[in-house]
């Protein structure tokens, strides 16, 4: 006679998966411990500890575009079952792109950003915001991240 309402998990029930440790939990001392829903399923963290189980602390949610553009490792793209998949970390993290064009553009933007950062390392005095190429790349990333 009554409907069922889906409940958000309790803080101690919420868990995430890491490549090396499997399931991890947010540490009770973390600011995000009481957060029961994240808009993105991806977190970055500063510290991982093991007591009664593996915990992460100092974590923040990260959405897909910042993860693809600023995460470590190479970005790969491939066609799987008719969908264009962008993968990171040797395929451990995968995203389905809306189209081949979107996948190519994201991959190319990441390559351009990587090259821009290499140029900055070679020439530390280079002002990325005053350089026409740098300002276009940074502007596009800011627009993409803030409007996703």
pTM value is 0.75
Residue range 100-147, pLDDT digits in tens: 898 899 889 999 999 999 999 999 999 998 999 999 999 999 998 888
Q: What is the pLDDT of residue 38?
A: 86
47 — pLDDT class (breaks 50, 70, 90): very high
Q: Contact, 107 vs 99, CB < 8 A?
A: no
Q: Contact, 11 vs 36, CB < 8 A?
A: yes
DSSP 44: E
What is the spatial distance between Cα 17 and Cα 41, in angstroms, rounded to a whole number?
Answer: 10
Rounded to the nearest 10 degrees, the angle between the axes of helix 132-147 and helix 100-122 is: 130
Q: Which residue's entry shows tokens 């490792």? A: 73
At 102, is the secondary structure helix, strand, or coil? helix
Pairing of strands 83-88, 93-96: antiparallel
Q: What is the pLDDT of residue 117?
A: 94
Pairing of strands 42-50, 54-62: antiparallel
């Amino acid at each position: 006679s009554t409907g069922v309402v889906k409940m958000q998990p309790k803080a101690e029930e919420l868990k995430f998966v890491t490549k090396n440790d499997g399931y991890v939990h947010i540490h009770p001392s973390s600011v995000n411990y009481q957060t029961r829903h994240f808009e993105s399923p991806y977190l970055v963290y500063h510290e991982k500890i093991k007591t009664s189980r593996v915990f992460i602390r100092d974590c923040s949610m990260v959405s897909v575009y910042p993860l693809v553009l600023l995460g470590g490792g190479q970005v790969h793209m491939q066609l799987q079952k008719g969908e264009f998949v962008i993968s990171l970390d040797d395929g451990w993290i995968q995203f389905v792109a809306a189209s081949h064009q979107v996948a190519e553009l994201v991959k190319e933007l990441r390559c351009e950003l990587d090259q821009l950062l290499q140029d900055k390392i070679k020439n530390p005095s280079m002002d990325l915001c005053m350089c026409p190429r740098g300002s276009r790349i940074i502007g596009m990333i800011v627009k993409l991240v803030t409007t996703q």
